[in-house]
Amino acid sequence: MKFWSDKRVIVTGGSGFLGTHVVDALRERGCRHIVVPRSNDYDLRHQANVIRLYRAHRADMVLHLAAAVGGIGANRSHPGSFFYDNLMMGVQLMEYARQFEIPKFVAVGTICAYPKFTPVPFREEDLWSGYPEETNAPYGLAKKMLLVQSEAYRQEYDYNSIYLLPVNLYGPGDNFDLETSHVIPAIIRRCLEAKEADAPSIRLWGDGSPTREFLYATDAAEGILKAAEHYNDSASVNIGSGHEISIHELADEIKALTGYTGEIVWDTEQPNGQPRRCLDVSRAKQKFGFESQVGLKEGLKRTLEWYQNSLGTEAQTSARTAAD
């Protein structure tokens, strides 16, 4: 509480999915000076806007969470823009944070930075042992450059920046747009809509064999803030739960939670993505005492409840609008 009480913190992406959980956690910790730049005011791909942001808000720390991101389909459709947008935001935000002498920069990278065939569990030392999985390599490599920049700036300028690697996130507030969502919200929505329509089956990409690790959003926020408080080194750190599950098992779990009784049809013409993902999370525990708290089953239940409640709120709003 004392650490954050007098800190002035800029949270890029603070109005997004992960960002809202981080901002809430900051407030709970007593942080009273939080700046969340909105994209319509500060397009952070452009140098002039980054400079204007730092001039307007003298900060003690930057938490860089902003990202152009999506699932496999979005990455396949927009590899160029995902690469450019993420690279330009990250490089300029860190460079001008250094120039404006902001004491600390926290860069949040992505699990997509790891090589396609990284040995499981993923250890931070394996980050450079190969090329990322092809469908999200441009995004993963753009975010990975923040690690290169962090290490280079510490070496040349003694600048205090850190680089965190969160695993796949989920939870209340997630993106449920089927064009851009990740796997958990996509399956939840497909199951609920199929149940409502009494559809005999739903179609999911791949064959269900790939494995993933998932981290509940409030746990991710806790890990990021613990690192911000206690970690001061450019060596990358995994932020995850350390638990692996196949997409097939995940789909069955969500199907049961939603009460959908139809069949899951696997579209094997579509890509699977990276074969396996599961992190070694020992460094985060050792360096700043982070361990995840919310198990997958409980997290899925909370996420489903949030989404169903949000649908109810939307329906009530639409009804009121129609009545008016």
Instruction: Evaluate the CA torsion angle 240, 242, 246, 251 in order and state its sign.
Output: negative
Q: For the segment 286-313, what is each residue's pLDDT rounded down to a tens digit?
A: 999 999 999 999 999 999 999 999 987 6
Give me the number of domains the chain comprises.
1
* 71 domain-assigned: yes
Residue 160: is its pLDDT beyond 60? Answer: yes
Residue 314: the pLDDT is 57
- For 34, the 3-state DSSP assignment is strand
Cβ(212)–Cβ(166) below 8 Å: no
Residue 13: the pLDDT is 96
* 14 domain-assigned: yes
Whole-angstrom distance, CA of residue 117 vs CA of residue 132: 8
* 197 domain-assigned: no
Residue 228: is its pLDDT beyond 70? Answer: yes
Cβ(114)–Cβ(228) below 8 Å: no
Cβ(67)–Cβ(110) below 8 Å: yes
Pairing of strands 263-267, 214-216: unpaired
In which domain, by residue range, is 62 found? 2-173+209-243+270-294
Return the DSSP state at 164.
Answer: E
* 228 domain-assigned: yes
Average pLDDT rounded to a whole number, residues 138-157: 97
φ/ψ (deg, to 5) at 211 = -110, 155
* 152 domain-assigned: yes
Residue 289: the pLDDT is 98
pLDDT band at 179 (very low <50, low <70, confident <90, very high): confident
Residue 70 is part of a domain; what is its CATH number? Answer: 3.40.50.720
* 10 domain-assigned: yes
The number of residues in the chain equals 324
139 is catalytic: yes
Q: For the segment 86-102, what is each residue's pLDDT rounded down to a tens digit?
A: 999 999 999 999 999 99
Whole-angstrom distance, CA of residue 324 vs CA of residue 86: 42
Tell me the pTM. 0.92
Residue 120: is its pLDDT beyond 50? Answer: yes
Catalytic residue among 139, 153, 216, 260: 139
* 299 domain-assigned: no
